[in-house]
Structure 1
Amino acid sequence: MEKKLASGQLKLATLDSQGLTQHAPFGTGKDAVLKALEHLGYIQIDTLSMVERAHHHTLWTRIPDFHADYLEELVEERKVFEYWFHAASYLPMQDFRYVLPQMLMIKRGESRYYNADHRVMEYVRDTIRNEGPKRARDFENESHKTGSWWNWKPAKLALERLFMQGDLMISGRVGMQKTYDLTERVLPSSIDTTEPTPLEFAEYLVKTNLRAYGFTTLKQITHLRKGNDVKKDVNKVLQTMLEEGLISQVKTEGLSSVFMLNHVLEKTFDPGNSNIWLLSPFDNAIIHRDRIKQIFDFDFRLECYTPKEKRQYGYFCLPILFGDQFIGRVDCKAHRKEKKLELIHLHIENNTVDIGLWLKPFVETVKRFAVFNGCESLALTKVSPPKLSTSVKKELSKAKFKK
């Protein structure tokens, strides 16, 4: 029997599961970074740097005292590793066995991606075994030596293939430059390396989604995962959890039914939450665009890959979440040399929310975000609708930074 739930409760339930209803939901410091990763399942890595990169931004949103060193230290301590989730991601080391199906598929040559010259792969692997961890640029230097029979590009492809098939792991980074080492020298001996059965893998996907989002659908769980077999296995796990009374099938007005953890369904949420969050476009909470459109009626698209003349909002907009509503987005850029965070264009789209409620917390959050980006001043270029411009500029002018 389906249960019914108000759409507002569904919003609060998923925001709470994402760590977006309270201050420091995972605690503080390095331990909080690991807790957040283990709860969310992954954090997407992205190289775009208009503002602080996505993986750092997503963690900072939930961990007020987050520092990039925390993540790097967790990699060095072998508690976190990098691999491909739906994109390049950091994952908790405890979940390593669940990337094995993809690694082994690539190793068996069942993927048309990651082709590489096997002679170069052998050379790269032997070099790392004999000389220690290497970056791609190390092989670039090698390829310029007299008598080299290969150039840098095949070596880079070989590194990527060896990484994707599990022979190499990323042991650390210098900025965005990855350092590779043999998996046997990186992976802790305590980690289970038994390949999960298809049903075990489906159970991992289901439980990860439910834990991170509070509710889920078959479509969301199998997003970007090809094949009917995984859908059948996921559906089987969901039906078993329903029979065991761990989850319920819930209906909300205007939406198809969702599967929801019973303890989340029974939880009481405070509708008076007035927190403001500036989310990364790659934040776990926003990454499923169709889901956000359905649940929050917020149509978000990242436009940095869209030709300039076709952009509606801007190159790198950050969604603005106020309580349980997305009230708009702001196109930002951190001018690091000038130590200035520019709000290129602030778009406020939900005009039903009184500016007196969101403006001060918005400015406070923007100020914190500026400091996180190494900036000491704010600049506002444009506001939509224009009638809000004077009020926003006046409030921003009050923001003071410690010298």
Structure 2
Amino acid sequence: MKTPPALLRPLALQPQGLGPSPVFGQGAAGALRAIEHLGYVQIDTLAVIERAHHHVLWSRVPGYAPEHLNTLLRDGSVFEHWFHAASCLPMRDYRFSLPLMASVREGHTWHAGRTDAAVMRQLLDRVRVDGPLTLRSLGQPSGVNGGQGGWWNAGPLKHALDRLFMQGDLMVRERYGMEKVYDLAERVLPSGLDLREPTLDECARHWLDTVVRAHGVVTWTQLLHLRTGPAIRDAMRRAVDERLADRSLVRLEEAVLPDAYADAAALAALDSAAPTSHRAVRLLSPFDNAVIHRERLLGLFGLDYRLECYTAAPKRVYGYFCLPILFGDRFVGRVDCKAHRRERRFEVLSLHVEAARSDLDLDGFRPALAEALTALAGFCGCDRVDLGSAPGAGFLTLTL
């Protein structure tokens, strides 16, 4: 089916919860529904704005507050493990993490390196007897090798904790900021949870259905993101062929979206839906689910986006931590911001509007962007937005 990207954009944004109106509800309950629908929310340590896992949920869930995610961890509604990166996932999907846990336990992944079996056994015994712990709570007491080296050394300890976590012996019970509280998996997992390890074909169907549900429009590259090997490729191809055969999936024919597919029901509903005049601005996290697949983002929305915080300063084009700007159903640019929490000041370092000005409703964009900046500043604990002499902001003459 040949469908221009401009017509597919609403189909891609609505399942993400980035359409005209909220779809997941509010507060902690809305956050849970968002995570269950999206399949995961990436956890990141960078706090230039708000950390990614909170920013992603706040962008979709009215009334979201960071403590809501910890509430969901504590009550067993979500768990932390690995998706394509460290992530918060729905507890209902726990069994689909079991193959990776088994692979780590058997020494087939990079997580298996640099760990000491004796340290791991002692850590498990410590948690079993003394209860939940954090890396910091273990300390490095004197009297153990004089406080130097040995299994109490921070390096071996951290590697052992990571390995026990990745292979599923320990789980994160709750968090204090970025500090994780570990406990035995059997004390964290809810009773009655399905713990059957899925086959590779079951995993492929689950990954496919999750990505299609969350994105509406998907590419083959996206489906295999960081999943390598012929066995996985073959299983995913079987899953796609099954969905094409039962007509729940439609193959697209757009040169800018090679080997792409769309949710058939959502596409049909989109064809019959009245056009929307949705003109809100959203400032998304660089790790947002909607922008993390860069090639798809370029093909579907025309935004060539890269996070430059890992690029040497002289080579940066846009800024250290630019946020993609979504205006209605178009990505129109990016803005580099920093939250100075102690000063309660939200600084706009630079603004890059890349949509043609002749094609951009500036009268609608200016107040919408000002409102989005003010709202994000408030979420970051800042009560003042400082434009200063931010490059690119002048022509907008924002009123904040």
Q: CA deviation at 1:65?
A: 0.7
Q: CA deviation at 1:207?
A: 0.2
Which residue identity is paired with 1:245?
R
Which residue identity is paired with 2:378?
V
Residue 400 of structure 1 corresponds to none
Q: Pick the aligned partner of 2:41 from 40, 43, 47.
A: 43
Residue 379 of structure 1 corresponds to 386
Q: CA deviation at 1:4?
A: 2.1
Cα deviation code 1:77-127 (max 9, x no counterpart): 000000011000000000000000100001011123342000100111100
> What is the rounded CA distance, in whole Å, between the counterparts of 2:142 and 2:25 in structure 1?
47
Which residue identity is paired with 1:129?
R
* 2:146 corresponds to 1:139: no
Give the TM-score taking structure 1 as reference length: 0.94
Which residue identity is paired with 2:106?
R
Q: CA deviation at 1:147?
A: 5.8
Q: CA deviation at 1:332?
A: 0.5
Residue 92 of structure 1 corresponds to 90
Matched position secondary structure for 1:104: helix
Cα deviation code 1:181-224 (max 9, x no counterpart): 00010011211111100100000110001000012122211111
**Does the CA-based 8 Å contact 2:10-2:19 persist in structure 1?**
yes
**Range with bigger deviation, 109-118 or 189-198:** 109-118
Cα deviation code 1:28-56 (max 9, x no counterpart): 12111110000000000000011111100
Aligned residues: 391
Residue 4 of structure 2 corresponds to 6
Matched position secondary structure for 1:267: helix
Percent of aligned positions that are identical: 42
Matched position secondary structure for 1:21: coil
Matched position secondary structure for 1:4: coil
* 2:14 corresponds to 1:16: yes
**Does the CA-based 8 Å contact 1:45-1:88 persist in structure 2?**
yes
Residue 106 of structure 1 corresponds to 104
Residue 117 of structure 2 corresponds to 118
Residue 81 of structure 1 corresponds to 79
> What is the rounded CA distance, in whole Å, between the counterparts of 1:316 and 1:305 in structure 2?
9
Residue 326 of structure 1 corresponds to 331
Matched position secondary structure for 1:338: coil
Residue 355 of structure 2 corresponds to 350
- From the superposition, tell whether residues 124 and 254 of structure 1 become closer, same or farther in structure 2 (CA, over 3 Å): closer
**Does the CA-based 8 Å contact 1:17-1:212 persist in structure 2?**
yes
Give the TM-score taking structure 2 as reference length: 0.94
Residue 176 of structure 1 corresponds to 178
Residue 160 of structure 2 corresponds to 158
Which residue identity is paired with 1:318?
L
- From the superposition, tell whether residues 144 and 226 of structure 1 become closer, same or farther in structure 2 (CA, over 3 Å): farther
Alignment gaps of 5+ in structure 1: 397-403
Residue 304 of structure 2 corresponds to 299
Matched position secondary structure for 2:325: strand
Alignment of 1:201-216 (within 5 A): 201-216=203-218
**Does the CA-based 8 Å contact 1:6-1:253 persist in structure 2?**
no
> What is the rounded CA distance, in whole Å, between the counterparts of 2:95 and 2:243 in structure 1?
22
**Does the CA-based 8 Å contact 1:340-1:379 persist in structure 2?**
yes
**Range with bigger deviation, 70-79 or 211-220:** 211-220
Q: CA deviation at 1:391?
A: 3.8
- From the superposition, tell whether residues 355 and 99 of structure 1 become closer, same or farther in structure 2 (CA, over 3 Å): same
* 2:282 corresponds to 1:277: yes
Residue 62 of structure 2 corresponds to 64
- From the superposition, tell whether residues 364 and 240 of structure 1 become closer, same or farther in structure 2 (CA, over 3 Å): same
**Does the CA-based 8 Å contact 2:219-2:296 persist in structure 1?**
no
Q: Pick the aligned partner of 2:342 from 318, 331, 337.
A: 337
> What is the rounded CA distance, in whole Å, between the counterparts of 1:144 and 1:28 in structure 2?
51
> What is the rounded CA distance, in whole Å, between the counterparts of 1:327 and 1:90 in structure 2?
29
